[in-house]
Amino acid sequence: MGLFEKLKIGLNKSSKNLSKGMGDLIFKKKIDESALQNFEDFLIESDVGVDATKEIKDKISKEKINSDSNQLDQVKEIFSKYACSLLKPLEKKIEDDEKKELKVIVIAGVNGAGKTTTIGKLGKILSKKEVKIVFAAADTFRAAAISQLEKWSEKVNAKLIKSDHGSDPASVAFKATEYSIKHSSKYLIIDTAGRLQNKKNLMDEFKKIINVLKKQNETFPHETILVLDATSGQNVINQVQEFIKLTKITGLIMTKLDGTAKGGILIALAKKFQIPIIAVGVGEKEDDLLFFNAKTFVDALLSG
């Protein structure tokens, strides 16, 4: 199954919601100011975000929509061009087959976003390159997270570096980095504890992990990727704001897009933060983490 087909299935709820909403609110009547206002409200409810929604509305109001042709197709085209122009510059690949040096990736996010599962799925994709991969179980606050990562490491033939439940997370990251360098590994992916802005101790632990890595090599980590849960809607905006106070976020992975009818949240994030998008998760299966392609994503989002 190709990328578009997987995305189309995964974004089924969102695409149907978007197409139905556009049809119901605009295209059964003349596109006047009242219809545009309803359209604006609908896009905001679909998590497209206030700023992006206003720009889309302005573009539609300035375009000459031909009432003799399919109005829905015309507005979808305007939406598509806008979304692609916003998302295309944010496509980012983390695979690097040319450089032989270790690539250190820290995975962050709040509890329940799917960090550990995402690490496993990411490891599976990267393992197809037949390179050495190391997982670091630095979420030492949850024994279940260590166990889950251990199972994934066995599936994808990655080396797992771990310590006992409750151990210092930064020490796990340190040991994992030492091991990865010594054994000429290609990727080190570090799991971290789920944290919220009101959990200062966990935020401090996260900063400590970053500091320990930089003491080993000032270029570490090469990537700090924030995993976000699409079903959280606009709450992910607050999560991004809190994490960028701690460290530079180099990429986003959006999970559980199959579980929401409001897939517009990526557009809202792109407009507000311009942070690169690494991948999207569209299901429970091991192969349902897909590297991000803006055009394919938008086409799938509008396919309903």
- Domain CATH number, residue 167: 3.40.50.300
pTM over 0.85: yes
Name the least confident of 3-7, 60-64, 74-78, 114-118.
Answer: 60-64
pLDDT-derived band at 261, boundaries 50, 70, 90: confident
Indicate the residue type of 205: E
Residue 35 pLDDT: 80
Domain that residue 108 falls in: 103-249
Across the range 249-268, mean pLDDT stands at 93
Answer whether residue 246 shows pLDDT above 90.
no
Phi-psi region of 254 (alpha: psi -120 to 50; beta: other; left: phi over 0): beta
| Residue 226 resides in a domain | yes
Residue 32 lies in a domain: no
Evaluate whether residue 293 is within a structural domain.
Answer: no
Residue 36: pLDDT above 90? no
CA distance 172 to 193: 12
- Alpha carbon distance 180, 188 (integer Å): 7
Does residue 196 surpass a pLDDT of 70?
no
Sheet containing 187-192: give its strands across. Answer: 159-161, 133-138, 187-192, 103-108, 223-229, 251-255, 277-281, 289-291
pLDDT at 12: 93
204 part of a folded domain: yes
Q: What is the mean pLDDT of the chain?
A: 90
**In the prediction, which pLDDT does 27 show?**
57
**pLDDT per residue over 105-152, tens digit each?**
999 998 889 999 999 999 999 988 889 999 999 998 888 889 999 999
Distance CA 259, CA 241 (A): 23
Confidence at residue 98, expressed as pLDDT on a 0 to 100 scale: 66
Q: How sure is the predictor about 198, in pLDDT bands with cuts at 50, 70 and 90?
A: low
Confidence of residue 90 (pLDDT cuts 50, 70, 90): very high
> Looking at the domain assignment, is residue 231 inside a domain?
yes
Q: What is the total count of domains within the chain?
A: 1
Helix (H, G, I), strand (E, B) or coil at 103: strand
| Domain presence at residue 304 | no
Which range scores top for mean pLDDT: 13-22, 24-33, 58-67, 133-142?
133-142
Residue 123, in any domain of the structure: yes
What was the pLDDT predicted at 166? 82
Is 262 contained in some domain?
no
